[in-house]
Amino acid sequence: MAKYHPWSVAVPLSVVQDWFGLAGKIENIQIKSLNIPDSMIVQQQVDKWVNRYGNIYMQPVVLDFDSHFKEVDTFFLALYIAGFLGIALSAFIIFNSLYVSVRERKNEFAALKTIGYTPGQIQAFVLFEVLLLSVIGTAVGLLFGYGLAVLLKLIIFMLFSVHDESGMVLAKGMIVSVLAGILVPIAASLYPIRQAGKVSVIEALKEIRSEAVSRKPWQGMIGALLILSGFSSSICS
């Protein structure tokens, strides 16, 4: 990877001076002020020291981290957009799946109403199912997401030649992931849950009756013949 990324090696000063035959000579010294208010004091002290010698000069250097990490910020912005699109797609899939499930379970909700369930209780029942699935999905997602986050960090640091052994900010990521994993499914399921409470018992019975009437007559005739053949075989035996 050294062919494609800038790299450097730290060697003792005495070794470098011996390599190039420049014993006792130094090209430059870098001084960094840790406290911004003390930077002017440090600059004045270095300036006094530099004025003692004619072959030494001081050159202030300003590092603009915003421009230096501009490409990294753009990359992270692309990751944020991709994550937002992934959440939006997940919300659409949850909405579509739950909407289809509610329509397919229409007879089940109608049966619950016949034994005394109110629309609010049916909606709470479906909401509990959504919460249970979202909690399980969030737990599994956090388990795999941590491994993917570590792998993504290694890839990003390798691409941008960043060498840092510090850890990740897990607290904020965990909070955002848990909130998104629970609130997004609830928001996507509000309309299907509302439709589950509006299921009509009469309409469900009409659909069942229409399905029974729409059966072809020859199916009933074949069933009757099979029943009669079963009785006749039992009598003969």
Q: For the chain, give the secondary structure using H, E and C.
A: CCCCCCCCCCCCHHHHHHHHCCCCCCCCCCCCCCCHHHHHHHHHHHHHHHHCCCCCCCCCCCCCHHHHCHHHHHHHHHHHHHHHHHHHHHHHHHHHHHHHHHHHCHHHHHHHHHCCCCHHHHHHHHHHHHHHHHHHHHHHHHHHHHHHHHHHHHHHHHHCCCCCCCCCCHHHHHHHHHHHHHHHHHHHCHHHHHHHHCCCHHHHHHHHHHHHHCCCHHHHHHHHHHHHHHHHHHHHC
C-alpha pair distances (Å), 220 with each of 51, 181, 208, 223: 112, 51, 17, 5
Mean pLDDT of the chain: 78
- Chain centroid to Cα 40, Å, comes to 46
The whole-number average pLDDT for the span 195-202 is 81
Confidence band (pLDDT; 50, 70, 90) for 56? confident
Confidence band (pLDDT; 50, 70, 90) for 147? confident
Asked if 184 and 87 touch (Cβ cutoff 8 Å), the reply is yes
More confident residue, 5 or 193: 193
Token reading at 138: 């969030």
Q: Using one digit for the tens of pLDDT, what is the confidence trace for 75-132?
A: 778 888 988 898 899 899 999 999 888 888 888 888 888 888 888 888 898 899 999 9
Task: Please tell me the predicted confidence (pLDDT) of residue 67.
Answer: 61
pLDDT at residue 210 above 60?
A: no
Q: Using one digit for the tens of pLDDT, what is the confidence trace for 180-196?
A: 889 999 999 999 988 88
pLDDT at residue 233 above 80?
A: no
pLDDT at residue 214 above 60?
A: no
More confident residue, 153 or 118: 118
Q: Which sequence spans correspond to the domains of the chain?
A: 13-62, 66-213
Spatial distance between the Cα atoms of 227 and 223, rounded to a whole number of angstroms: 6
pLDDT at residue 213 above 60?
A: no
Compute, in degrees rounded to 10, the torsion defined by CA atoms 175, 177, 181, 182.
Answer: 10
Lowest mean pLDDT among 36-45, 99-108, 135-144, 207-216: 207-216
The residue assigned the tokens 């909690």 is 135
Task: Please tell me the predicted confidence (pLDDT) of residue 146.
Answer: 84
Confidence band (pLDDT; 50, 70, 90) for 36? low
Lowest mean pLDDT among 52-56, 99-103, 198-202, 224-228: 224-228
